[in-house]
Structure 1
């Protein structure tokens, strides 16, 4: 699932291109994509795109004018396999990945021809969704109103973490802290040298400060690599990476040191990285620098270990 660094990079690149663009039309080929019916997507025609922003892992695309009675925001949740991309050609009738399309003309980058802002989703689940809300409805919508404080750039001091929750479970809970998923949770906890299944209530002030700083460093470092380029710390060849540019790739090359690297040596102490496997998740950790030499039991397909 795209998380805070990937969503933030997407917002910055797309906003720089489509802010001020005129809306030609909007439609949702994905039958289950839209969760709202009023205002309708047709109301966007003739209006303009007022820009993109982010809240947690949600994309928010602003519109005004056209058939809208007031400024509105298209709230998009990409779920695990969705992507929001800008294309210069229209989607073909056989492209079954398309869930929502907004056709635009012009924009902040001076592009004069028609382009498509396209929500695509890979796989067959069709879990990605959207809501078109008038701006005065956005803050009170249950999806957004229940979100916790942002994990970056200024995360909370973490004294209010639920004491009985595990660290990995708590920082992934969007109601507690918004923006972190399974991928960056593993990277953050490894950076902070904290056991992922440790209870939040067991942390002292120094450990909470270390965790907060790890959020800033890890999430900000990934975003900086996406936007500015540079050497990926996970790349053994040390080749400089170019900054992201439009059109965005279907899969971003994530600069990961531990997540998805089970069986490889820990970059810090060389210990073999281990994992706990869940039904739809894999938690990667170092049994030396995170759990004090005590590996977790990996009960695959078991419900005994809960994150």
Structure 2
């Protein structure tokens, strides 16, 4: 599923393109998508979209006005196969991937620079004009109607949304249980649960918000730490190494998405622009590269397979020459 760097890049590009727009309609074709009913989703009709940001891997679409009782937030969880994208054309009745549709007129109050640095950030390399280009109307006509669309691929309908008054956000059971952000300024990691494995702990959203299966493998490889090592066994220097790896890996991926360049995998990438692709080109060195040589020491990368997951690691620079037994569904290896 999209993790912190992918969600952060999505948020910045979409926010720059739609902030300030008017929501003309809101609907949820996915019958099981919305988990709240008061206020109803169609209360967003007529509201101003005041911004898009994130908390961990959750997308937060902020709005006020319309039929809302006050400033409110549409909380979206993409789960494993969801994507939030902006389209110039409206979804047709046969589009079975649509879960939530927000039809927006106007918007684009943010500048391209804000898309690459974040609101209030220092100016960085200018992004392509498409990043923050407002939907400009021809004089005498209305601005074109665009669609912010939560799509979900595959047969499962797992992606979900909640429309909450801002006064209730702090008490929401999902948001209130999230741990501190894994980027840009993660904690010192001294409070990691001592009996948990490293990989299990850093991808637990209650411990750290934003990291999942993909980036946990990349971060632990960067830090040269065994993924199934217990958190309580780390010394201060190892915790600092892990924290540094989080900042470098997550921040490096985001920088590559927004500004382009050559990734750690040696591939040249152009900056992301709208419309976003269904699958982002992840700049990975380890995850799902089982059988490839380790980029650090050339050892063949190995994996432990779970029912719906694959943990990739280097048996030399991470586990000291001791490969894990790959027993699928083994209780001994579960995080």
Which band: TM-score by shorter chain? over 0.9
Partner of 1:163: 194
Runs (4 or more) in structure 1 with deviation over 2 Å come to 301-304
Q: 1:213: Cα distance to partner?
A: 0.3
Structure 2: tracts of 5 or more residues without a match: 109-132, 136-142
**1:296 correspondence with 2:320:** no
Matches within 5 A, 1:1-307: 1-108=1-108, 109-111=133-135, 112-235=143-266, 238=267, 240-307=268-335
- Matched residue pairs, number? 304
Per-residue CA distance 1:223-276 (angstroms, 9 max, x = gap): 0000000002213xx4x3110000000000000000010000000000000000
What TM-score do you get using the length of structure 2 for normalisation?
Answer: 0.90
Q: Distance in 1 between matches of 2:331 and 2:148?
A: 41
Structure 1: tracts of 5 or more residues without a match: none
Q: Distance in 2 between matches of 1:74 and 1:104?
A: 15
What TM-score do you get using the length of structure 1 for normalisation?
Answer: 0.98
Instruction: Give the SS at the match of 1:280.
Output: coil
Q: Distance in 2 between matches of 1:258 and 1:110?
A: 38
Q: Distance in 2 between matches of 1:151 and 1:172?
A: 10
Q: Distance in 2 between matches of 1:114 and 1:306?
A: 48
Q: 1:28: Cα distance to partner?
A: 0.1
Per-residue CA distance 1:151-205 (angstroms, 9 max, x = gap): 0000000000000000000000000000000000000000000000000000000
Structure 1 vs Structure 2 CA RMSD: 0.7
Q: 1:42: Cα distance to partner?
A: 1.1
Partner of 2:114: none
Instruction: Give the SS at the match of 2:54.
Output: strand
Q: Distance in 2 between matches of 1:93 and 1:8?
A: 30
Per-residue CA distance 1:124-143 (angstroms, 9 max, x = gap): 11000000000011111010
Instruction: Give the SS at the match of 1:149.
Output: coil
Q: Distance in 1 between matches of 2:235 and 2:262?
A: 34
Instruction: Give the SS at the match of 1:185.
Output: helix
Q: Distance in 1 between matches of 2:211 and 2:258?
A: 19
Per-residue CA distance 1:88-137 (angstroms, 9 max, x = gap): 00101111000000000001132021000000000111000000000011
Q: Report 1 or 2 for greater relative contact order, CA contacts < 8 Å, sequence distance ≥ 6.
A: 2
Q: 1:302: Cα distance to partner?
A: 2.7
Q: Distance in 1 between matches of 2:230 and 2:329?
A: 23
Q: Distance in 2 between matches of 1:169 and 1:269?
A: 25
Q: Distance in 2 between matches of 1:139 and 1:179?
A: 18
Q: 1:82: Cα distance to partner?
A: 0.2
